[in-house]
Every structure is written in C-alpha cells, then in structure tokens.
Structure 1
Amino acid sequence: MTNRRTLLKGLAAATVLPVRGWAAAGAPEWVAAAMSPGGDHALHGIGASGEITFSIPLPARGHAAAAHPYRAEAVAFARRPGTFGIVLDCRSGAIIHRLTPPEGRQFNGHGAYSRDGRWLYTSEVVAEGSAGRVGLWDVRAAYARAGEWDSHGVGPHELRLLPNGHIVVANGGIRTDPQDRTPLNIDDMRPNLAVLDAEGALLSRRELPAALHQNSIRHLALLPGTIAFAMQWQGDPAEPVPLLGLARDEAALTSHPVAESEAFRMKGYAGSIAANQDMIAMTSPRGGVAMLFTAEGRHCATLERADLCGVAAASDSAFTMTDGGGAIWAAEPDGLRLRRRHALSWDNHLVTIAN
C-alpha cells in the first residue's frame, strides 16, 4: 500500500510540475532582443552574470517580449506597428506558433501572460484611428485568438499584469498614421492609465493634468501598491516636464520632476522603466542617461551611458541595464559596473523571467 501511495503521489506531482521549465533553457534572468553586426535579429536569454543562455533568430527587429511564468516559452513582438508575434521554445529555439492580429489590427510591441500562464494579453491598435485594444490569446488552445477588449484609450503601448490579476494599460494617447507612424493628434492627445479586470471590464481610467496632456504614457513598472510609469513628451522641447509618474492605489496620477539642472538630460524621452522594492529606474537612449528615483518619486542619481535603454531589477544590484553598444551593466546609485559585453546592439527592453 505504501508503494502504491508513493507511486500515485509521484504521478500526481508529475501532472503539475512544469515540463518545460526555464532551467532547461539555461536559467536566464532576463530576455531581450538584439541585432548582430551583420544586421540579423534575435531574442536572447541573459543569465545573472550577463552571459547569453540562448539565441533564437527573429524575422525582423524585435521590441519587447513576454515570458511564460513557468514554461520556457517567450513571445517576441515586432517593433510597433507590427504584425508578428512569435512564440518560441527557448530550450530548442523552435518556433511553436506565429501570432497574427486580426485584419485591421496591429501589435504595439508588448504583451503579458496571466499569472497561471493560461492567457496571453497583447497591446494592439485598430490601424485606422489607433483606438486601443487588448488582444486575448488562449495558450492552452495553441495560442488561438479568443477575443479582444477595449483598452479605453488611444495608442496603448505597454501593459502589465497586477498582483491581483488585473491588467494595467499605458494608453499613450497618440493617434498615428498606420503606415509611417506620423503623429496625427498632438494638439489634442489625451493619454491615460487604465486598469481592467480579468474579464476585460474597466475598473479605473486616470488622466494627467491638462498641462501635461502631451506627455505620452508609454512604459510601466510595479512597486507594492504603486504603478510607476514613464512618459515621452510631445510638446515644446524647450519646456522642462517630468517624465516619471506614479499611480498610488486609487489616487490621482502624480508627476515627479527633477532639479532644473537635470530637467533636459533625458531630452523629453524615457525609453524604459523598472522598479524594485524601494527604487525606480528610468532610461533615456536619446539622452544617454538613466535616472534613479526613490519609491516616492524623489530623484536620487543620474547615470551616464550612450544609448542606454533596457532596464530590469536585479538580485545582486539595484538594476541591470543594456545599451546599444552590446554592454550589460549592473546599476547602482553610485554608478555602472560592466557585467558583460557582446557583439550585439541591444533593443529597447529587458524582460524579467518570473522565477
């Protein structure tokens, strides 16, 4: 009887244990897209010391990726506006599925899995008019398209899954030409931060003050009880504006300026954002800087490095950052420390594997 019980317990455990865990793909800490010196594009797994654990070719330039919470699968998205999302087996390098948005829709470079890995949510627009959509894909049904939800804004970019399973969407507010991305509504754009429940219903939608209506909300990071967001200024470049915003619980959005001497160093453009328990990092490839803030939004350091953009929290330092010259950096308020350098040009984002 004891042997039978042991066998049954083992069989039960086998049915719930991940069959394609990230350890089988070299246990990467992060994934990121990059271009080789020859112009080829690939998605790479990056280990804790900056080593590359896998490389999988992409058909064109990538942007961000979404990593499955327990299977060694990732979806690489085209740079917006794009029409490919490729589901990759990161152990073998095989393309498992190719995702194509419905006719008249375009991917906007970002996506996220539900916590149980059952659903993939994708940031999309209606090509004509840039109305925002959240695409819904059924992972268990071979990533079949299961529908879409209104993002309750124009031009959504990044979306993130909140700890309670709700989805926060950065609606950038910019209506663009579907062919060449020319902005069409800068004078009357209205970015917002929208939160949807797990059924797609709108729970909240918050806008910036009128004076900042040209500050496009682009990227997101999560802290306990707070959503941090990075913005890109579309107004007068001679006007110093804050690029970091915070959404605390259900309170109104707040913006967090830096000292006048620092105000123009990001050139009005935040390319990516990340957070750990008590600090926020925001990068600007245009400005060649990264700025660090406390969890309350107080600027505490500026780090200099050309074409610095990818950023994610790290276990052995405050953050890890990547640049267009192939370097991977450990970042602390007192400076940057080189982890590793590769013959690559890293793209905009560094995506954390949820281990």
Structure 2
Amino acid sequence: MPALDLSQTSVDLTRTICDIPSVSGDEGHLADLIHDAVSALPHLDVHRDGDTIVARTHLGRPQRVAIAGHIDTVPVNANLPVRDLVEDGEPYLWGRGTVDMKAGVAVQLKLAAELTDPRVDLTWMWYDHEEVDADLNGLTRLARTRPDLFAADFAILGEPSNGAVEGGCNGNLRALVRTRGVRAHSARAWVGENAIHAAAPILARLAEYRPREVPVEGLVYREGLNAVRIDGGIAGNVIPDLCVVEVNHRFAPSRTAEQATQHVLDVFDGFDVEVIDLAPGATPGLDAPLAREFLAAVGAEPRPKYGWTDVARFSALGVPAVNYGPGDASLAHHDDERVPLAQIEDVERGLRTWLASP
C-alpha cells in the first residue's frame, strides 16, 4: 500500500482508508500509514501508543481543542471495497467504515495536514479498538500512559451525527442475568428443573419495561433496557441447568454508573446479576465558551447522542465534548453502510471555517 496522500479531497481520502480493512484488533497497517503521513508534517508533534496516534500543534494559543476519531471498524461482511452509488439523486459512498467512522477520520486527516495556523492549538487523535470492550479502547490505554495528551478546553469526536452537532452521550451497561436449574434427561423432565423456563420472568420484566426520556441541559435523552442475547442448554435431549440472558442498558448522562447499576439490580431483583461492561455517559457541555462558538460557526441546532461515544472519556476529565461527523448513525454497523458525499464536504467545511477563523 502506497503512502497516504493527504492532498486528496476528503471524499477520495475516505475511499482510500475505507479500502484498508481495519477491523478491531487489526488496525496496525492503517495506523502505520496514518503515523507516517502525519509525521511528515513539520507543524505537528506526533506521539504513538500502540495503534493510537496523537498529533499536536504547539503555537502558544491560549486555548486548545482536541479532535478525535477511531480507525477500527466492525467486521467486514461483503461490503468492501467501497463503491459509489446514487440514491434519490444524491451521491453516496457505500461500504464498511464509511459511516463509522472513516469519513470523519478522513476529514480530520485532511485538516490536520492543511491547518498550519489555526485559531487554537489542536490535538488530533486517531485511536484503535473503539468497537470492542471499553478496557481495550486506545483512549483508555492512552489515558493511563499519557493523560497529559488529553489536556484541552473543548473536544470534538468525529462520530456520525448526520453532519449535526450531538451533545454528550448516553451511558452504556451490559449485564448477565442468570437462572439455574437441575440437569436431567428430557424424557424425564420432571426430575429436573428447567433453567430456560425459569428465565421467563426476566423476559416478562423486559417486555413490560418502559424506558425514560430524560432532559439534561436542554437536550432529551432516550434510555433503553433490552435483552440482546440468550444462552442456555447443551443438547436437544437435556433439560438445561443454566440460562444466561444478556441485557443492555442505555442510560441518560444525568444518571451515574453506580445509579445505573443499582437500577438494573432493582429491575432484576431476585436474580443473579453480573455487570460485565459499564461506561458512564457525558452531559452535553454546550455551555462551554468554545462549544457556543463552535455551534454558532457551523450553524447547528444541537441534538442528544443516544449511543455511547468517547465524548464520555473527555467529559470524565473535565473537557466538554460533542459529536460532529458525517454519516447517519443508524447505518453504523449496517451491511448497507453508506455516507452522503455532501456530508463529508459539509463537515470539513464547518470545521475548517471555525478553526481557521481569526
């Protein structure tokens, strides 16, 4: 693979990096190319930690903005290489990573190369392992080894937001809810206890659950509590002695991780519950001066981010952060993933206008 050409348009750069597969755990080649490309730029100081690359300006500006994007994707499913398509008269790029989130990464690479004299100092972050467990995330690792690199007055995550500004994010909790029984031959089921049957009340509670809509700093976040996986049984003629229901709770950023955990424990009171993944949300942070300036510059009406994103990592460090990137988040991980070319160009234009203005 030849070196990345950062003089390409952001659309062509999206094509290029999408056609370099980088499923979580296999980001090394793309990380190498990004590292080599930005290391050649004299106005940037570059640091690498595993497959996470950080590039910073040091212009002595009174304020610093961090702009980040992950370079990994979910697994490819016959949706590479990318291709152009037209839908209702609008041109798109179709293929894995176009939405989540290599179009955003391409915009960031393009601007990192060309904004040599921005109005604020900039910290660009391209990181690995976003699509898997939180403890593997490149920003988690970087926060342990180089927390100083997160210093900023405001942060922007290039996560897909349809070219709008999405403030904060919901928190994310995954838990295993277990039932136990007694194993027996299915021809003599009465001598056993069926753990799968015992899980019926878990599913009933989920079916009856009514999620909240929670206003936080002027934005309304929608919560959720859903079964996402059920596992039980070992053979077609054996009464199962164990059933595990995996549940996913998306909770408003006004709720702490401890409160979210307690809520799940309360919903499944009487059952064996184990929390296996927990990431707090992030409040919108839109009252920060740089956030207000950014919203005014791009002319955007802020919306809530229903999913979890790494804005939460910056928020936990006291850095207000928003999501701003091309692509429809409902198409993230979809086999028909596609991004409008106009959104890639619009997001580049919005960031360039704000960062380059005096």
Give the structure-1-normalised TM-score.
Answer: 0.27
In proportion to residue count, which structure has more strand?
1
Tell me which structure has the larger Cα radius of gyration.
2
Give the structure-2-normalised TM-score.
Answer: 0.27
